[in-house]
């Protein structure tokens, strides 16, 4: 304070201080306001880093994470949520302290304005603290939003882990449901010596067990709509025929019939020489290639 008053104070400020003694706190109030600004800047930096962390953490969701790492990240999220709650409580404390400062400076709450009849130090302090009060409100809103974001991230991680555990349980149940009939049949046939490996009746285990397992698996997959098995089999058969080229050969036969002409009798077609049949077949293939190029 001595440095400010001896080196930086203007003559007008010195005259105002002599006129009104409250101006003697001019630099002291500026110093207090600067501490408040530094506190707000530090809070803003912390909230910005927390917001970046929350956005980056949501973008790196991995449902194949191990159980140990999943627990470690949940503990980390819990610690971050605790720090966010502490920062939110501190901001509420600063908010109440700022209300008290404005009341002491003579500012009417709800209608904040600068008193033009006050001294120079009080007017500048009112301007500074009203500005600080206005900058604090967005920080409080962002801190409140971060609290819900941390909870949402924890719930999202738990949901992802629950889905992964559910998929694993489903696979385990399907495996058990497929293996159980075979195990049951093996237990039933193991009661007699004739069904042991190497005996004449051993083939019955596989002849009955494998179809039984397939039936149980199809029942679990299709559930209440068993007739869709035939629809899928028909589609798979059509795909298999297309892959084997059977449909393409049928198309070549049709185009061959178009080129030769259906009006000719079967006997005349049979009596054609081999060279003529070969030339007609080549013409049919060329017709198919031209149609494919046009398409």
Binned at pLDDT 50, 70 and 90, residue 280 comes out as low
Please determine, for residue 134, whether its predicted confidence score (pLDDT) is greater than 80.
yes
- Which of 38-52, 125-139, 221-235 is least confident? 221-235
pLDDT score at 104 = 83
**Residue in the block written with tokens 């070549």:** 252
pLDDT at 270: 47
pLDDT above 70 for 235: yes
Question: Which pLDDT value is given to residue 141?
Answer: 86
Is the pLDDT score of 249 beyond 60? Answer: no
Least trusted range by pLDDT, from 27-31, 32-36, 105-109, 272-276: 272-276
Average pLDDT along the chain: 72
Question: Distance between CA atoms of 128 and 105, rounded to whole angstroms?
Answer: 11
- pTM recorded for the entire structure: 0.47
pLDDT band (50, 70, 90) for residue 170: confident
Percent of the chain at pLDDT exceeding 90: 0
Answer yes or no: are the C-beta atoms of 20 and 61 closer than 8 Å: no
pLDDT in tens, 204-224: 777 877 787 777 777 777 766
Per-domain residue ranges of the chain: 1-170, 192-240
- The CATH code of domain 1-170 reads 1.20.58.340
Query: Cα 293 from chain centroid?
Result: 45
pLDDT single digits (tens) 173-183: 777 777 777 77
Q: Which of 53-57, 93-97, 119-123 has the lowest mean pLDDT?
A: 53-57
Per the rule left: phi > 0, alpha: psi between -120 and 50, beta: everything else, 10 is beta
Least confident of 7-21, 35-49, 197-211, 228-242: 7-21
Is 161 within 8 Å of 70 (Cβ atoms)? yes
pLDDT at 287: 64
**262: confidence class by pLDDT, cuts 50, 70, 90:** very low
Lowest-pLDDT range, 65-69, 181-185, 186-190, 248-252? Answer: 248-252
């Amino acid at each position: 304070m001595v440095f400010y008053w001896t080196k930086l104070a203007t003559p007008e400020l010195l005259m105002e201080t002599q006129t009104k003694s409250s101006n003697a706190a001019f630099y002291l109030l500026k110093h207090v306001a600067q501490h408040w600004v530094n506190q707000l800047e530090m809070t803003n930096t912390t909230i910005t880093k927390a917001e970046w962390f929350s956005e980056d953490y949501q973008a790196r969701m991995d449902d194949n994470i191990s159980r140990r790492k999943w627990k470690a990240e949940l503990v980390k999220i819990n610690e971050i949520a605790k720090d966010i709650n502490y920062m939110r409580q501190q901001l509420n404390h600063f908010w109440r302290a700022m209300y008290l400062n404005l009341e002491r400076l003579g500012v009417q709450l709800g209608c904040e304005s600068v008193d033009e009849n006050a001294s120079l130090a009080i007017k500048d302090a009112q301007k500074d603290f009203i500005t600080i009060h206005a900058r604090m409100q967005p920080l409080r809103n962002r801190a409140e939003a971060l609290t819900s974001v941390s909870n949402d991230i924890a719930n999202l991680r738990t949901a992802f882990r629950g889905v992964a555990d559910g998929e694993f349980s489903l696979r385990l149940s399907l495996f058990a449901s497929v293996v159980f009939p075979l195990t049951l049949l093996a237990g039933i046939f193991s009661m007699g010596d004739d069904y042991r490996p190497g005996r004449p009746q051993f083939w019955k285990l596989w002849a009955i067990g494998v179809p039984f397992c397939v039936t149980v698996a199809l029942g679990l997959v299709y559930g209440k709509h068993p007739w869709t098995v035939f629809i899928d089999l028909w589609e798979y058969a059509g795909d298999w025929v297309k892959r084997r080229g059977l449909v393409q050969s049928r198309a070549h036969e049709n185009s061959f019939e178009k080129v030769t002409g259906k009006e000719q009798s079967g006997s005349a077609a049979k009596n054609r020489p081999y060279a003529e049949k070969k030339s007609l077949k080549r013409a049919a293939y060329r017709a198919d290639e031209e149609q494919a190029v046009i398409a």
